[in-house]
Amino acid sequence: MNDEPSWDLYRTFLHVLRERSLSGAARALGLTQPTVARHIDTLEAAVGYDLFLRTQRGLAPTDAAIELGTYAQSLASTSAALMRAASGHASEVRGVVRISASEVVGIEHLPPILARLRALHPGLALELMLSNSVEDLLRREADIAVRMVEPAQDALVSRRVGTIPLGFHAHRDYVARRGVPASMEELSSHDLIGFDHETPAIRGFLKRYPAIQRGSFALRTDSDVAQLAAIRAGFGIGICQVPLAARSPDLVRVLTEAFSPELGVWIVMHEDLRSSPRCRAVFDALVEGMARIG
């Protein structure tokens, strides 16, 4: 490449990679399909090879496109972080802050915390990214994260705000119908709600509680929110945060003595954002709010 392609070409490329079609990328970007096609042609000419194969089912990315996609996503994250930083002011709590949190935390815990924060700082605009994966703050995919695992990167600032106890819970209608298990071993005779795919964190958890196995689950889903909804609906027995279950009088905790693990909670941000008034305000509000939950 003699001339570096413009960012517009990479942005278009990333959307085509996501949508697998020119028309889908055009809709997402607010461009015409011929413009998107021209961007891809220009980028392919610049790098010197094809990025997509035209098929009857749409556009199939080449191995080269998949490799470049990682870098294009990094550019997109950096660009978004730049715009969030530019939205703020050196001496005021205003601008955009992007927060990463798990589904349950983002849906069940953060709304009142963010409502109080917004009332206190009306110049703040908040972006909430719900994901059970650990987002990479080093790549600026988010400004601040609520994590259930301790961060290992030295470039991150973190505050441990406490723990959240977990427990097996079921709806009282299920308990009335099926009874209460007297031991972990008896769980296998009940309708259990649990994960679909194992993660490193889950594998570590299973070592502590070998009686919990994927094969015995009557409902498998990797969505913690879906698991919680199934417990509330009376489907069966599942793992729920104890403070959340306490909000629903119809939920009953079972095997309290045999199963009582705890989740650590950390609020994390990149060390470069410590001097940002908008990020500092959000960080402190999350520390205070999440510390009340355990």
C-beta separation of 170 from 236 below 8 A:
yes
Please report the pLDDT score of residue 89 as a whole number. 65
Q: ∠ at Cα 102 (97, 108), nearest 5°?
A: 90
Q: How confident is the model at residue 90 (pLDDT cuts 50, 70, 90)?
A: low
- Average pLDDT over the chain, rounded to an integer: 89
Q: What is the 3-state secondary structure (H, E, C) of 53-91?
A: EEECCEEEECHHHHHHHHHHHHHHHHHHHHHHHHHCECC
CA distance 193 to 31: 44
Model pLDDT, residue 114: 97
Q: Which domains does the chain have, with CATH numbers?
A: 7-84 (1.10.10.10), 163-263 (3.40.190.10)
In the predicted structure, residue 220 carries a pLDDT above the cut 80: yes
pLDDT in tens, 228-261: 999 999 999 999 999 999 999 999 999 999 999 9
- The alpha carbon of 201 is separated from its chain's Cα centroid by a whole number of angstroms, namely 15
Is it the case that residue 2 has pLDDT exceeding 60?
Answer: no
Pairing of strands 262-270, 144-147: antiparallel
Model confidence pTM above 0.85: no
What's the token pair of residue 118? 């917004």
DSSP states of 17-65 as a string? HHHSSHHHHHHHHT--HHHHHHHHHHHHHHHTS-SEEEETTEEEEPHHH
Rounded distance between C-alpha atoms, residue 275 and residue 255, angstroms: 46
Length of the chain: 294
* Cβ neighbours of 209 (radius 10 Å): 14
8 A C-beta contact, residue 121 and residue 281 = yes
Rounded mean pLDDT of 58-70?
89
Q: Sign (positive/negative) of CA torsion 143, 146, 149, 150?
A: positive
Check residue 226 and give its pLDDT. 95
Asked if 95 and 123 touch (Cβ cutoff 8 Å), the reply is yes
What residues contact residue 70 under an 8 Å CB cut-off, 6+ apart?
A: none
